[in-house]
Chains A and B, each alone.
Chain A
Amino acid sequence: MSNSTSNITVIEPKKGWIAIDLKELWSYRELLYFLTKRDIKVRYKQTILGGLWAIIQPFFTMVVFTLFFGRMAKMPSDGIPYPIFVYVGLLPWIYFANALSQASNSLVGSANLITKIYFPRIIIPASASLGGLLDFFIAMSVLGGMMIYYQFIPSFGILLFPLLVGLTFLCAVSVGLWLSALNVQYRDIRYVVPFLVQIWLFVSPVIYPVSMVPKKFQWLMALNPMGGVIDSFRSSLLGHRPIDWILLGISTIIILALFLSGLYYFRKMEKTFADVI
């Protein structure tokens, strides 16, 4: 961008995977910022409730879940009040689910940009995944209130918080990379995503605790990348149980694998985007 003096760019057909040019990506960081800002602004423009929407979704979901799962189905919640149990699980989940939906259609939705302007295409699913973070932090503020109400004091585990947020973002981006790239070629991916997200919710320990799953199957929970993350979110913020490091560890490895493979597939398909989209 502006930091190029006299650089030579070579354009020629490339085969297979091309390593990400981190220097180039860094020079486009402003574009990432502006695209994310655009998505956030557009979401809130001309709305009356503005940022309040970020609270409504988790809050009312919590209310409904508490009613049906907490009260009627009598779901166990590791000894803590169900509302806060489910709310802490919902926060990263809602961020993840929204980021996924946005990211999966992000490339196709920006077809006009992709066919007319050059920039590293990874910026598009990345900015789609970033936008939801603002909502996440707004919803966190309600959590603060709830913790006071239920008299929870954050434990040392809270230091893990930035790492967990980072992992959630990475997970969203990774799956986003896969889905957005696949969606360019196979347009029905878009219809698979809502279904995928629904099933994923039930497979993750949002509504129910990991402890409810029989011990010998608990490792399966770890295979779900969001499984370890959500469980650790709870343990670290509420301190009612020790953090299950093995669960978190396995999930982290899965997330990294998803990320690297997603990156690979995305870069491999990137050169065909403008032609196929």
Chain B
Amino acid sequence: MSETVIKVENLSKRYRIGAREGFKTFRETLVDSVKAPFKRIVDLGKPVPHAEMIWALKDVSFEVKKGEVLGIIGRNGAGKTTLLKILSRITEPTKGRIELKGKVGSLLEVGTGFHSELSGHENIYLYGAILGMDRYEITRKFDEIVAFAEVEKFVDTPVKRYSSGMHMRLAFSVAAHMEPEIMLVDEVLAVGDAVFQTKCLAKMKSITSQGRTVLFVSHNMAAVGSICQHGIVLEEGNVLFEGSIQNAINFYEGEIFHKKYLHESVSERKDRSGTGEVRLVGFHIENEDGERIDRIPNGRTVKLVFDYRTRSDRGAKNVDLGILVERENGERVFQLGTRFTGQKFHHILPKGYIVCTIKRFPLVAGRYKLGAYLQSESNPADYITALTYLDVVDGDFYGSDYQVYENETRILVDGTWSCYPLR
């Protein structure tokens, strides 16, 4: 069946941003007109002068066939959620046209509409109705929903007594039993503990295998890669790539993530958290001779150099720096921090750089993600989860000329073997 069920043509969405978006009060309007009577009264009907317009989506066009599972990936702010909101009819497009064939169910947030005073039973019906299921459908699936959520014993207790895990399981369970022809899902796998997330992922997979058309937005590349067949990459409101999901992921990580992140200076990066007491402003890698290198040969000494600045002129105290190395799918390989090595920096000057020296770099060849964090006085000062990519190449770790592959091991352990006979 290759019928087109979603057709998006030249979709654009503009938002008004700025300090006074929306919340005008009559009082403000009146006060303004008193302050400068002639100007303000004339201006009453016009948009507020400080308002800036941004285009969240620019001329987006794509088609989805029946039964297809499409992943929508992109950086934060690329427009993914806006796209889903428009497809869900929560907000209206500024320009363009969309045609949807079939009943649409959207899951933009898990548990919206749950009321804590009502029991699990009552909330299943309420939430189900909010999601668009009718009473008979809910009654039919009631036992299944309760079983999936594993809340059999608590069905008649008010939801405010549930643990947060139970809360989420129940909400997700109701949502997962929606049976729309087109399903729009936004980042809902980012909630809950690891066990729950595995369950959700499995359920998502079973939903997609039932022949439903699904649009899935997520930052979790592993999930996207395993559930979707096709993918589009959004960046600043534009569709930059459309194709198979693996190619889309590679494009996203290669073009958007890697290139941008290597060329954008660390100091300008915004995807960080922390107080800002101390901040990373630069990063590069050196070999043992102090020469800058792009790729790390395993088995050799490598220096990771982090340039920093402190907010105060007096520098910062008790600073901890740490690195987190993960595989591309987010699986953590190792963490190394100054607090592990007992090397807290008691006082650092306002400008400087901190070096992490690793002898015999122990990772098998491949691409890894590097994150870094800085703490000052035990407060998180700067945390960038995805600072850059590390490309590790074979440097003959064991000196044995044996090419160790990624599926054999990720960490190269510095060990040797000996054999002794028993007499």
Contacts and interface: CB of A to CB of B under 8 A. Distances in A.
Interface of A: 1-2, 4, 6-14, 30-31, 33-35, 38, 41-42, 45-46, 112-119, 185-189, 271, 274-277
Among B23, B92, B118: residue with most chain A CB under 10 A: B92
Contacts of A10: 97-100
Contacts of A116: 90, 108-109, 112
A276 B99 contact: no
B109 A271 contact: no
Interface in B126-149: 126, 129-137
A187 B132 contact: no
A276 B115 CA distance: 24
A274 B26 contact: no
B101 A274 contact: no
Contacts of B103: 1, 4, 7
A13 B12 CA distance: 10
Interface of B: 15, 21-27, 85-104, 106, 108-109, 112-113, 115, 117-118, 122, 125-126, 129-137, 158
B25 A34 contact: no
A12 B126 contact: no
B144 to A, nearest CB: 17
B93 A12 contact: yes
A10 B102 CA distance: 11
A271 B21 contact: no
A38 B112 contact: no
Contacts of A277: 22
A219 to B, nearest CB: 30
Given A30-B135, A38-B118, 16 more contacts: A2-B133, A4-B103, A9-B89, A9-B101, A10-B100, A11-B89, A12-B97, A12-B98, A41-B122, A42-B118, A117-B108, A118-B104, A119-B130, A187-B23, A271-B91, A277-B22
A166 B126 CA distance: 26
B88 to A, nearest CB: 5
A186 B113 contact: no
Contacts of B113: 112-113, 117
A42 B117 contact: yes
B186 to A, nearest CB: 9
Among all A-B residue pairs, the 8 with the closest Cβ atoms: A276-B22, A11-B98, A34-B129, A271-B92, A188-B25, A12-B97, A118-B89, A9-B100
A119 B21 CA distance: 24
Given A11-B87, A188-B27, A274-B85, A113 B112 contact: yes
A6 B23 contact: no
A21 B278 CA distance: 57
A55 B23 CA distance: 38
Nearest to A41: B118
B12 to A, nearest CB: 9
B132 A1 contact: yes
B97 A30 contact: no
Nearest to A11: B98
B101 A13 contact: no
A116 B81 CA distance: 10
A118 B98 contact: no
Given A6-B101, A41-B118, A119-B130, A34 B90 contact: no
A42 B95 CA distance: 41
Contact of B130 (A7, A113, A274): A113
B129 A31 contact: yes
Contacts of B25: 186-188
Given A1-B103, A13-B93, A38 B115 contact: yes
A2 B109 CA distance: 22
Contacts of A12: 93, 96-98
25 contacts: A1-B133, A8-B99, A8-B101, A9-B104, A11-B92, A11-B98, A11-B99, A11-B100, A12-B96, A13-B93, A13-B95, A30-B129, A35-B129, A38-B118, A42-B115, A45-B117, A113-B112, A114-B90, A117-B88, A117-B112, A118-B104, A187-B25, A188-B25, A271-B91, A275-B91
Nearest to A32: B129
Contacts of B117: 41-42, 45-46
Contacts of A8: 99-101
B134 A30 contact: yes
Contacts of B27: 188
A30 B131 CA distance: 11
